[in-house]
């Protein structure tokens, strides 16, 4: 029985810890499928986390905070799209600049607003749901019925994106733009427009991931609080071979590793805690080592120049 409760608690916490990574990974999947790498989603998540807290405090509604965070994320995505799609600049470098910008804007904004007053503002964050009143059921209750609303929405978004890629015209267009931009263009598709939209929507999803951290998982913003989750999300995308559902699964692996290390840490007080904190990062390094060398979108990272190479 104890074992069941332990597994249940780890899984429930693992899902919660994985959700920000899932959201960011879904956003990155969309962008990369259209042919654009964004290594700056860590920066977008930070901006999303900050804007969500500020928005929730100012409006009194976590949903408004989430909406504003997604808007800010979309704006950050659009900046990346402008430089990498419209100006056709080196995408990795633009992503690094976006990372700087996100670190700066979130830290700067925080110190100007919530961080300026010594007292912590009361943050109206999201509370876990109790779906059908079953969250208390031992074992599966906390896992299936006691999560945040955003968790369910994240899974829904992943399914929707998978369906979009597999069965809709829109999905075909996005894939065509990422795989054969020249062919897509000759079929009358505005390659750059599609890419711009995908990267912006991807930014909104990363912003939502940041928001989950700051108004659902924790209630508050700390500078640099994403702690590499944006990069974990990129790892998810690659390891999941650009499939949204697989990306969710890989993110879950990282989330469970994180949940496990927190628990094992408290069970083994004699071992320095730092050895546990590094676990998810080690899992990511190992996973990247094992799971690379795959077929990426053929035009990934390559700007589209009509009539050019």
Partner 1 sequence: MTRLNRPEVYGIVFVVALVVGAILVAGANPFEVARAAVQRALFTRAGFLEALLRTVPLTIMGLGIALSFRAGVFNIGMDGQLIAGSALAVALAPWLPGGAAGIALFLALGIAGGAAWGGIAGLIKARLGGNEIITTIMLTYVATQLLSWLVRGPMQEKMRIIPRSDPIDAALRLPVIVEGTRIHAGFLVAVLAVVATAFVVRRGRYGFKLDVVGQNASAAAYAGMNPAAIAGMVLAVSGGFAGLAGAVEISGVYGRLQEGFAPGFGISAIAVALVVRLNPWLVPVSALGFSLLYAGLGSVAQKALVPFPLINIIEGAVVFLFLAASVMPARVPAGAKSDG
Residue ranges that bind partner 1, judged by CB under 8 A: 39, 43, 79, 82-83, 85-90, 92-94, 96-108, 111-112, 190-193, 196, 223, 227-228, 231-232, 234-235, 238, 272, 274-275, 277-278, 281-282, 284-285, 288-290, 292-293, 305-308
User: Please, what is the Cα angle at 170 between 192 and 52, to 5 degrees?
Assistant: 75
How far is Cα 201 from Cα 164, in angstroms, rounded to an integer? Answer: 14
Query: For residues 96 and 249, which CB has a smaller minimum distance to partner 1 in the complex?
Result: 96
User: Please, what is the Cα angle at 159 between 51 and 230, to 5 degrees?
Assistant: 40
- In angstroms, what is the minimal distance from the CB of 194 to partner 1? 9
- In angstroms, what is the minimal distance from the CB of 14 to partner 1? 19
Task: Report residue 270 as tokens.
Answer: 């004699």
Query: For residues 120 and 288, which CB has a smaller minimum distance to partner 1 in the complex?
Result: 288
- In angstroms, what is the minimal distance from the CB of 133 to partner 1? 40
**DSSP H helices in 124-190:** 140, 149-167, 169-179, 181-186
Task: Report residue 106 as tokens.
Answer: 């979130």
Query: For residues 76 and 164, which CB has a smaller minimum distance to partner 1 in the complex?
Result: 76
How far is Cα 123 from Cα 57, in angstroms, rounded to an integer? Answer: 5
Query: For residues 211 and 234, which CB has a smaller minimum distance to partner 1 in the complex?
Result: 234
- In angstroms, what is the minimal distance from the CB of 44 to partner 1? 12
Question: By C-alpha distance, which of 80, 43, 298 is closest to 182?
Answer: 298
- In angstroms, what is the minimal distance from the CB of 233 to partner 1? 10
Indicate the angle between helix axes 2-33 and 41-59, nearest 10 degrees: 110
How far is Cα 251 from Cα 21, in angstroms, rounded to an integer? Answer: 6
- In angstroms, what is the minimal distance from the CB of 248 to partner 1? 18
Query: For residues 53 and 150, which CB has a smaller minimum distance to partner 1 in the complex?
Result: 53
Query: For residues 151 and 234, which CB has a smaller minimum distance to partner 1 in the complex?
Result: 234
């Amino acid at each position: 029985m104890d074992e069941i409760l332990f597994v249940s608690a780890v899984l429930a916490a693992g899902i919660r810890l994985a959700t920000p990574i899932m959201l960011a990974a879904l956003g990155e999947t969309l962008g990369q499928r259209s042919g654009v790498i964004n290594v700056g989603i860590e920066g977008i998540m930070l901006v999303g986390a900050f804007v969500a807290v500020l928005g929730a405090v100012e409006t009194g509604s976590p949903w408004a905070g989430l909406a504003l965070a997604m808007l800010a994320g979309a704006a950050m995505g659009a900046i990346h799209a402008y430089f990498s799609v419209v100006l056709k600049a080196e995408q990795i470098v633009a992503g690094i600049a976006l990372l700087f910008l996100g670190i700066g804007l979130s830290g700067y904004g925080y110190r100007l607003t919530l961080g300026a007053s010594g007292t912590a503002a009361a943050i109206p964050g999201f509370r876990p749901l109790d779906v059908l009143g079953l969250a208390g059921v031992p074992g599966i209750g906390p896992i299936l019925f006691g999560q945040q609303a955003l968790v369910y929405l994240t899974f829904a978004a992943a399914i929707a994106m998978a369906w979009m890629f597999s069965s809709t015209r829109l999905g075909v267009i996005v894939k065509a733009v990422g795989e054969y931009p020249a062919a897509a263009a000759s079929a009358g598709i505005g390659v750059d427009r599609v890419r711009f939209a995908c990267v912006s929507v991807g930014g909104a999803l990363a912003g939502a991931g940041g928001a989950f951290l700051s108004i659902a998982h924790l209630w508050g913003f700390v500078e640099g609080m994403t702690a590499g989750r944006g990069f974990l999300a990129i790892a998810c995308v690659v390891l999941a071979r650009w499939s949204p559902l697989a990306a969710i699964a890989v993110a879950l692996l990282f989330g469970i590793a994180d949940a496990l290390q927190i628990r094992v840490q408290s069970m083994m007080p004699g071992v320095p805690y730092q050895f546990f904190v590094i676990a998810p990062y080690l899992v990511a390094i190992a996973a990247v080592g094992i799971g690379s060398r795959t077929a990426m979108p053929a035009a990934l990272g390559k700007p589209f120049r009509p009539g050019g190479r």
